[in-house]
């Protein structure tokens, strides 16, 4: 028997280029193939198993082939994430329109702001087809205070209003704060907004270690793209504080700078911190369950999130969580119950929270156990997939049976 991969499918899975009867054909469109593989692979496979044809679309990247190995149909899109060139963007929209017509797509589901907008616009311009737009967090344009981001905000709001409106559209948001933002901005009919907490986590993979870690030093990890707005700078400063206090802590960074994001931390800075002994940089980590089982706590001092999957994965491993009291993060962590919340951009408070865990193993155990219970009750991927497919059924009620 062929071995199962992490999604429960064999490499010899059938090619989705085969047409599946009268079932809807669904397009999943994201700004990276990495996102599709890590965050929406299970959704795509569940749709396939239900008899639907699925086409996955993103800019080219190494994870496209991994999707194809799963038996999923993936195509590269001529998209540049940071492009502001009107002609290039018009060509992308035209390409999407032609693709949707040629493939006879029944429903378009776009992830992140740019793909959500372009996917929804293309769906509207090809016969007002059903469309689902998933915005995970408000993105660089809404979180950065740079001149470029402030300039783009009103433009993006206008485009969002044009793309997301209409009775055949639905907007999926990951936390209540973002729901309030969209409702107050009146970008879309509130009755068309759906709250679905994250993309879900396979909690059969993310489990507590068999034996608790007892050997010093205390190890914490930040598992994320290395962006300034993930709180990387604050964690480095917290490490300085802890070192000055004589608190023995190993601070790990698991991730890489995102070259396609203006907030990416320069690699030179990361190497300098590594050389100073403030952090250990692990780079990209493929086996996250193994990493989480080798640390004592997980830290994410982010400025804002949609709903951070890394915290939920860590919760599945019964780890205590330290994160900021900001939208998205406080959906996962209730302060003092299943983790610790700290003020955003305050390195000293972050250091205090980490030191508190170092000095109180019983607190770590209590928070970790509560975090796993919450993850199983609210964030299991089966719950998220079921709710996502229910949104599809609202738009294609007769064809999702």
346-373 pLDDT, tens digit per residue, is 999 999 999 999 999 999 999 999 999 9
* 25-200+380-395: CATH number: 3.40.50.2000
287-298 pLDDT, tens digit per residue, is 999 999 999 999
385 Cβ contact list (under 8 Å, min separation 6): 42, 43, 46, 200
Mean pLDDT of the chain: 89
pLDDT band at 299 (very low <50, low <70, confident <90, very high): very high
State the pLDDT at residue 282.
97
First to last CA, the chain: 31
State the pLDDT at residue 81.
74
366-393 pLDDT, tens digit per residue, is 999 999 999 999 999 999 999 999 999 9
259-278 pLDDT, tens digit per residue, is 878 899 999 999 999 999 99
Of 72-76, 147-151, 166-170, 324-328, the range with the lowest mean pLDDT is 147-151
State the pLDDT at residue 267.
96
* Domain 25-200+380-395 and domain 218-378 have a common topology: yes
User: Phi and psi dihedrals of 350, rounded to 5?
Assistant: -65, -45
State the pLDDT at residue 10.
38
pTM assigned to the model? 0.83
The proportion of the chain whose per-residue pLDDT surpasses 90, expressed as a percent, equals 75
User: Phi and psi dihedrals of 108, rounded to 5?
Assistant: -110, 125
Give the class (CATH, top level) of 218-378.
Answer: alpha beta
141-155 pLDDT, tens digit per residue, is 665 677 877 777 787
State the pLDDT at residue 158.
78
62-100 pLDDT, tens digit per residue, is 999 999 999 999 999 999 876 768 899 999 999 999 999
Mean pLDDT, residues 304-310 taken together: 92
Ranges of each domain in the chain: 25-200+380-395, 218-378
Of 8-12, 77-81, 207-211, the range with the lowest mean pLDDT is 8-12
Q: Is the pLDDT of residue 243 over 80?
A: yes
User: How distant, in Å, are the alpha carbons of 194, 262, 289, 393 from that of 270?
Assistant: 38, 16, 24, 46
Identify any residues that bridge with 281 across adjacent strands, giving them in sequence order: 253
Q: Is the pLDDT of residue 185 over 80?
A: no
- Name the nearest CA neighbour of 7 among 91, 63, 60, 52: 63
State the pLDDT at residue 13.
35
């Amino acid at each position: 028997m062929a071995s199962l991969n992490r999604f429960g499918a064999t490499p010899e899975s059938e090619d989705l280029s085969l047409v599946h009867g009268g079932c809807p054909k669904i397009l999943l469109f994201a700004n990276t193939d990495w996102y599709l593989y890590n965050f929406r692979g299970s959704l795509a496979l569940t749709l396939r198993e239900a008899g639907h044809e699925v086409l996955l679309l993103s800019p080219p990247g190494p994870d496209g082939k991994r999707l194809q190995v799963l038996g999923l149909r993936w195509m590269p899109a001529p998209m540049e994430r940071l492009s502001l060139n009107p002609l290039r963007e018009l060509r992308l929209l035209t390409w999407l329109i032609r693709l949707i017509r040629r493939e006879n797509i029944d429903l378009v589901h776009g992830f992140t702001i740019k793909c959500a907008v372009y996917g929804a616009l293309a769906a509207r311009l090809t016969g007002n087809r059903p469309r689902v737009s998933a915005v995970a967090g408000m993105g660089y344009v809404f979180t950065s205070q740079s001149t470029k981001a402030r300039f783009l905000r009103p433009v993006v709001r206008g485009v969002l209003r044009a793309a997301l409106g209409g009775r055949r559209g639905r907007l999926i948001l990951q936390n209540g704060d973002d729901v309030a933002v969209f409702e107050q901005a009146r970008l879309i009919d509130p009755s068309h907004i759906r709250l679905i907490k994250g993309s879900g986590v396979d909690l059969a993979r993310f489990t507590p270690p068999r034996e608790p870690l007892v050997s010093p030093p205390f190890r914490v990890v930040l598992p994320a793209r290395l962006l300034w707005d993930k709180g990387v700078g604050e964690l480095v400063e917290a490490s300085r504080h802890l070192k000055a206090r004589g608190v023995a802590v190993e601070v790990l960074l698991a991730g890489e700078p995102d070259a396609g994001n203006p907030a990416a931390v320069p690699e030179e800075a990361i190497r300098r911190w590594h050389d100073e002994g403030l952090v250990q940089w692990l780079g990209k980590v493929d086996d996250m369950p193994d990493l989480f089982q080798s640390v004592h706590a997980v830290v994410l001092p982010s400025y804002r999130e949609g709903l951070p999957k890394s915290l939920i994965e860590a919760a599945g491993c019964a780890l205590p969580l330290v994160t900021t009291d900001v939208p998205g993060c406080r959906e996962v962590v209730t302060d003092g119950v299943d983790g610790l919340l700290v003020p955003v951009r305050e390195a000293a408070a972050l250091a205090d929270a980490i030191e508190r865990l170092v000095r109180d193993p019983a607190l770590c155990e209590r928070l970790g156990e509560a975090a796993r219970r919450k993850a199983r009750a609210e964030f299991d991927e089966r719950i998220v997939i079921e709710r996502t497919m229910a949104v599809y059924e609202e738009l294609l009620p007769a064809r999702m049976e």
